[in-house]
Structure 1
């Protein structure tokens, strides 16, 4: 492979080169999108010869985009696809996205033109809003337009768009959820490969959460009782155990005796079998004091309407209503470990990993002291563990911060400014990640 002079670059020079390549790629994506739109303009409904319209099987005008977009000659994607090296179907999708962005998503269109949008993000919004009304598409456009610059990782951006779509018409969203709720099944797959076969379950997420917890629990029980196989193998056996209630009860009793044996001071086994089973906790963020059907955020499961929460989560769960946590005014502590209320406050202030472009929203992340914790006399009375000096990090990103030369400051609670080892700056807050300074690629 010809490295084209790359082998002579230093680490910083190579990253600057990558910056330039990314800028060119982004500009090229915009140019192709604009060309696709102009291709649709040139090949409008009037461009179709009249004889084609009269001929059986001849070309017809089609609406590639959503309501409010112009008609386009249906054969026109073929030539565009040929030049781009993509299929006719893919070229039609590109043209549809282009006309939707131009005619239905004016705010995103403005950001595309100025280079402040990732085309892939803009196209996703166009595709997801295609079946919405003009007014609903405009609502989504307003809600997500600032995030099309890529500040949010892809999975979090998808969740944002889906939530905005539900909020644009909660009644329609509730109807879709109700229709999907009826599409439940538990069935084996048709294909068998080398003696192996799958089993697919489609059900409301609380059902799947309970099933997953039960499988994980019995896999753990098997391990405690001496099963040395891999976790995946034990999970499959756990499914088999669940399929046989007699076997499951027998295994629970054996585990009950094992638990008692670990604590001989307790005497005979007194643990209730029901108490051995795992509890499933689902965090639901809802709005209070309104009569309208709003969109709730279910951690690890995405947005759902409040109607869905009541109708489908309600029968499977007992709700504990927690008041809004006052993030400001939380008392600092001198100890290294953050109290539960501080951990909760940090999660609510910024549920994502605070490292640039991280998609993780897990509650199980580590809490990092932005200014490194000092032990001994320096810890007394310093209140080092406090809101404004804590940030969520995955284990990998915590290690990168500690050992790989990255630096971070938190000028305001929940706002992190990162500097990589080569000087590039990133601002991370609840809206996502943005580049700062001379390396900022936004026009």
Structure 2
């Protein structure tokens, strides 16, 4: 498989070989950028209406992916390029935009890439950072940064590029600052493999400080009520409690008195004194404990249309695996100082959970309901052991479902058997059919599609619906979930699709390449692949 056995090399040889392989990867990455440029040239937007201009709804348009000064290309072209390099249409559009921006807007940086003096993915980062600049401003950045792409760290390079952008176009910098202020919001990140999600908050400083203080107060109340976990874990738990304001207020009240509140018709419930470690408000244990590194959040903003996706990471490069940079501290210094659990005994935690459930019952019904879809086998359902897949959270141990549901009242809806086939005779798609398809296909079924299927996702008939045709044309086996862009590509972009099995589709691209899409992902199947 390899030209030589790396295991036979000494340390110097391994380092030298690694550097040579890194240089070869960079050379191939530069060649891939050239391929993207040529593919764009082969798909010019001649004869196509411009984005935002007149044109038939849903049909292909000419789109500029790389910024001012780059040529417009056919909007649907990136979908096929992306499928061939194993990425989504949106990421491919961003990548083609970066390649065109380097050639047309940042020629000095592009020359260093071709000469092997600049790492391609770093150059692509610069192209993305300059996407909203005019040609003139981009030229200034190009001149100031060209010799620095590979001589400084990526973080320093980013700061240098930002400073150059501000100098090149101060009006644009002010506009960007105003736009940043309008981007305030609360975003939920992707779930990891252990039942944990991140929350990314951009808000006014005062609001964030008050939110932080409330989280802190809830964490202190939990400790007063006997929660043995360290402060950072209690703060995380407080976030879930805060979702129910009445429940949160009850815990804060109970925390101030050290006594669990009671309903008028019930006896009071108290926490045993030996299981409570009281803390004065604002006190911090182990002030000198080392502060852990905060986790790197991965914000997930709403899906960006491909024509605006040029700010995405470079395809097929180390940058593609790098999370979005966010100057957010998930917790402050005082929140990270307490690391040692007060008591790791399970009975104490069970007692606290029972007390919290009692408090929740007193506060009345919740103001909203949340529907959670849990996929599990009959064995897991019967034994309570095994792995379940929770939509929006990913795989969880069955024992973690208790944490997911919490101690709120909940109801269990009938099990949905995904092996059942639902069909109707009308063109319109009823909700129960939408729900079934959402559960069968959690992600859109276009090659390397990334959009999660929701009840609002387009459901397209694999074969066009015939109002005079046979009954049952609208069914779980004859519909495919697609995001709007993929739907347009299928309908107007010369892609063909057919059902191979009940769980698999075969897609054929405009140039004859074929891909099977099933529950395991996307697989290229054409004869060209077999000859490679």
TM range (shorter): 0.3 to 0.5
Larger helix share, 1 or 2: 1
Q: Which has the higher contact order (CA 8 A, sep 6+)?
A: 2
Normalising by structure 1, report the TM-score.
Answer: 0.44
